[in-house]
Chain A
Amino acid sequence: MSAPQLADQLKAGLDAPICLTWELTYACNLDCIHCLSSSGRRDPHELTTLQAKRVLDELVELQVFYINIGGGEPMIRRDFFELLEYSIANEIGVKFSTNGAFIDAQNARRLAAMDYLDIQISLDGIDAPTNDAVRGAGSYDTAIRAMTHLRDADFGPFKISVVVTRHNVAQLDEFKALADSFGAQLRVTRLRPSGRGADSWHDLHPTNAQQREIYEWLLAHGENVLTGDSFFHLNALGDELLPGLNLCGAGRVVCLIDPVGDVYACPFVLHDEFKAGSVHDPGGFTNVWRESDLFRELREPQSAGACASCGSYDACQGGCMAAKFFTGLPLDGPDPECVGGDGEMALLAASAAVPRPVADHSKPARAAQPAEPARVPVTLGRR
């Protein structure tokens, strides 16, 4: 009945996920440079209201206690409140992530009236310049306005969710103070090189010196700050473990359903390599969770590979699968942010053929295309 035995049990997988993320849409009003799902435009094959409800029915059967809803911007879906109410009425609690653009006074009151609901407002800087450099012009004001509406509606302790970058590590104390001033709870998570993050990660990820700052800050603030257990790679920095399960939950206790119903091992690996199946497959989500080859494989004991001889492996578990994959590193080697510096060395040696995220739903402006293609030739023709 000791803790290590439980960790082994969890690694072998559960009958149903504990932490299921469901991205409702790829549509988004923002265009964040680190978006995990390269969101922007809606996918024409996104689940219909009816299909989404059938998935929720399955989750009821599986006794999934709560789901994490994200996107894109989930509140863009016209059936957002309908799905929210359906889920909660069926005793599946909901925690949803939003940039806050659609939380006006009226919606805030509607949300405040619901039970079993948590809201995470994304904010990646304590001031507009820091935040908007990552999340886009105006997004800081939008987030603060949404928080104010939630506070005025007496929603209760919502969450402020921060992706920790090189540019906001020094603001952790201020984020905590901001959360306290709203009666909110602070949540900080690790930046991943997934989605559009594949392009921005090299400029945004914390330096090695900053990683120590994060580790010490988290130890000092412990249980009062949520992390989604995402910083366990930092455990190699000291003798004290950060609170949490200290393991990669992908396919074991965690998974992701994307807007079109594809099931991936975790929210950070939207790539065919980590696609386990689809909710449309025979047997539905349940069968994917329990029987898919990928999830079965992830529940097998994993090789420590190049990390086997490192004394810190038990503490850091080799870090994050997604971070390795999207930086071109082998999965059985060090994390690119290995605090021992092994990741940096590996990155230098990594091949140029880094896997690209699939299913880019970025808005056209971002995709590579010639500027003003249609009109220019006319002008040229007259010369």
Chain B
Amino acid sequence: MLDRHLVLDEQVALRPEPFGALAYHYGNRKLIFLKHPDVVAVVEALPAHDTLSDALRACNIDERRWPAFQSALEALERSEMLHERTAVG
């Protein structure tokens, strides 16, 4: 997961909330809670970085917290909110 190139699906919208953000997928109608502002920051940083670890580092996330971020992002991927970035362009 850490070395993968991930991005938000273009049908997903993020709405800031006091606890973090809500993610809504207009295609499959799924709603997911991003339960910490840092998770939101990492998700938003993904497009600018080649891998998830780069994004985590860029957001100054302590490596001890990385597993929690991995599972949060895995949940997003299971709901088709995140996917592997395809060829540049």
Question: Contacts of A115 on B, CB cut-off 8 Å?
Answer: 26
Give how many A-B residue pairs fall within 8 Å (CB-CB): 39
Q: Which of B7-33 contact A (CB under 8 A)?
A: 13, 15-19, 22, 24, 26, 29, 31, 33
**Are A91 and B18 in contact, CB atoms less than 8 angstroms apart?**
no
Question: Contacts of A93 on B, CB cut-off 8 Å?
Answer: 26, 29
Question: Contacts of B18 on A, CB cut-off 8 Å?
Answer: 9, 12, 14-15
Complex: chain B residue closest to A118, CB-CB: B29
Task: Indicate if B59 sits at the interface (CB-CB under 8 A).
Answer: no
Complex: chain A residue closest to B15, CB-CB: A63
Q: Separation in Å of the B86 CB from the closest CB of chain A?
A: 22
Task: Indicate if B68 sits at the interface (CB-CB under 8 A).
Answer: yes
Question: Contacts of B29 on A, CB cut-off 8 Å?
Answer: 66, 93, 118
**Are B13 and A65 in contact, CB atoms less than 8 angstroms apart?**
yes
Give Cα A93 to B24, complex, Å. Answer: 11
**Are A65 and B15 in contact, CB atoms less than 8 angstroms apart?**
yes
**Are B26 and A91 in contact, CB atoms less than 8 angstroms apart?**
yes
Given contacts A5-B35, A14-B18, 20 further A-B contacts (CB under 8 A): A1-B35, A1-B36, A6-B35, A9-B17, A9-B18, A9-B19, A12-B18, A15-B15, A15-B17, A18-B22, A65-B13, A65-B22, A65-B24, A65-B26, A66-B24, A66-B29, A91-B13, A93-B29, A116-B26, A118-B29
Q: Which residues of B contact A (CB under 8 A)?
A: 13, 15-19, 22, 24, 26, 29, 31, 33, 35-36, 68
Q: Which residues of A contact B (CB under 8 A)?
A: 1, 5-6, 9, 12, 14-16, 18, 63, 65-66, 91, 93, 115-116, 118
